[in-house]
Amino acid sequence: MQQQRYLSLDVFRGLAVAVMIVVNSLGSFDTAWSPLVHASWHGFSLTDLVFPTFLFVTGNAIYFSMQKYEAMGSSAVLRKIFKRSITIFLIGYIMYWFPFFNITETGEYVFRPLSNTRILGVLQRIALCYAIAALVIHYFKAQGAVWYIGISLIFFTLVQWAFGDFTLQGNIGHKIDMMILGAQHLYQGEGQPFDPEGILSTIPSVVNVLAGYLTARFISQKGNGYETIAKLMIAGAILLLAAQWSDLFVPINKKLWTISYVFQTIGLDLLILPIIIFVIDHLGQKKWTPFFEVFGKNTLFIYILSEVLVIMMYWIPNGAYWPVAGKAQPTSVLSWIYDHVFRITGDYTGSFLFGVWVMLTCWLVGYILHKKKIYIKV
């Protein structure tokens, strides 16, 4: 029973990573099918489910890892929590600084100053959410997790209502980030400095991790029978209804991580996970699982590898040049591969297939590590 539950959770984690790599590695985001890109502001797409699901499966893993840590004593637990969190945060920060230089219009390499490097981001949010969730669980157990979920969502929503609005310019999270971090340290891809992984929205994103923890705890204690599956799916359906109701007052918005978005994402995860449990543990359909197990065994390493691979392909010029605004600009390896290999299938299909190719390349590395029983723990 225990091995089957681990398998289901590993597959769920692996599925989340695989989809996350694809949607983050498209050949061109200008020619991408709408489910493969984030909602521009309010709204929801398949891609908007990927990151919170990654946090949810992080919570799954915390349940099992904390059981081992607790036996080592409180000081050892704290050392592990802070060491892991700081490591992941620094890796994320260095990735935004990497490859440590910019290419000018004349093809010169100029050192990229730390003063303009984004401080927060995906890995940094994972690190912060892991640290906060693990500390809550360590000191206050499951009851504390439930209290955090209720208090944080109410507090966060009241702060959003009282001190700002739900626009890009007027939300309170953006004002806090501008005041504390400064415009030069925020994400620059929204047409103005704005960080979708900002300081304030980290508070509700921890809820996704704690929900994953409580889910793994429930499955571990109750088993993976039909009653467990039914209860998880009922909880998921209730949360989806809550998301649609709360959307009338607080719009579903990934970049603000609103309460309705939290309900929506956890609700969907609580529908998807029991389906995977049913297929694997009750129907016995396991031939498809080894592919996703590879991602589930070296989760963070494979994700980091995908990001570094795309960054390197984007920044390394291939020697060819193409005219832009009357100037000769070097094309990247990424654009050359996309244009000459994948784009021949069509702009939208080629963009998707490029992301699949990056995902499969990372899977191959993960497969080699898995066969050699090498598991890189961050």
Dist. CA 201–CA 61, nearest whole Å: 22
Q: Taking Cα atoms as reference points, which of 233, 241, 240 lies closest to residue 278?
A: 233
Dist. CA 262–CA 212, nearest whole Å: 12
At residue 325, the pLDDT reads 41
Dist. CA 193–CA 84, nearest whole Å: 29
45 confidence band (pLDDT: 50, 70, 90): very high
245 confidence band (pLDDT: 50, 70, 90): very high
Terminal-to-terminal C-alpha distance of the chain? 28
At residue 348, the pLDDT reads 94
At residue 351, the pLDDT reads 94
pLDDT mean over 342-353: 94
Q: Taking Cα atoms as reference points, which of 160, 282, 153 lies closest to residue 211?
A: 153
Lowest mean pLDDT among 34-48, 242-256, 268-282, 313-327: 313-327
Sign of CA dihedral 187, 189, 192, 196: negative
Q: Sort residue 321 into left (φ over 0), alpha (ψ -120 to 50) or beta.
A: beta
At residue 287, the pLDDT reads 92
pLDDT mean over 191-199: 93
112 confidence band (pLDDT: 50, 70, 90): confident
Q: What is the pLDDT of residues 197-237, one digit of tens each?
A: 999 999 999 999 999 999 999 999 998 899 999 999 999 99
Q: Which residues pair with 332 in a beta bridge?
A: 317
Domain range list for the chain: 2-371
Dist. CA 275–CA 233, nearest whole Å: 9
320 confidence band (pLDDT: 50, 70, 90): very low
Q: What are 213's two structure tokens?
A: 């923890």
Q: Indicate if the pLDDT at residue 140 is higher than 70.
A: yes
| H-helix segments, the chain | 2-24, 47-70, 74-97, 122-163, 172-180, 202-222, 226-246, 259-277, 289-297, 299-315, 333-337, 347-371
Dist. CA 262–CA 248, nearest whole Å: 15
Question: Token match 């600084």: residue?
Answer: 97
327 confidence band (pLDDT: 50, 70, 90): very low
Q: What is the pLDDT of residues 81-106, one digit of tens each?
A: 999 999 999 999 998 888 777 666 66
CB 300 within 8 A of CB 88: yes
Number of C-beta neighbours around residue 289 at 10 A = 19
Higher-confidence residue of 110 and 244: namely: 244
At residue 236, the pLDDT reads 98
Antiparallel, parallel or unpaired: β 327-332 and 317-324: antiparallel
At residue 15, the pLDDT reads 95
Dist. CA 162–CA 169, nearest whole Å: 15
Q: What are 209's two structure tokens?
A: 């991790």
1 confidence band (pLDDT: 50, 70, 90): very low
**Cβ neighbours for 275, distance < 8 A, ≥ 6 positions apart:** none
Q: What is the pLDDT of residues 160-184, one digit of tens each?
A: 999 999 999 999 999 999 999 999 9
Q: What are 134's two structure tokens?
A: 């693990």
Higher-confidence residue of 2 and 271: namely: 271
**Cβ neighbours for 242, distance < 8 A, ≥ 6 positions apart:** 260, 263, 267
Dist. CA 152–CA 165, nearest whole Å: 18
Dist. CA 344–CA 342, nearest whole Å: 5
**What interhelical angle do 289-297 and 2-24 show, nearest 10?**
80
CB 276 within 8 A of CB 8: yes
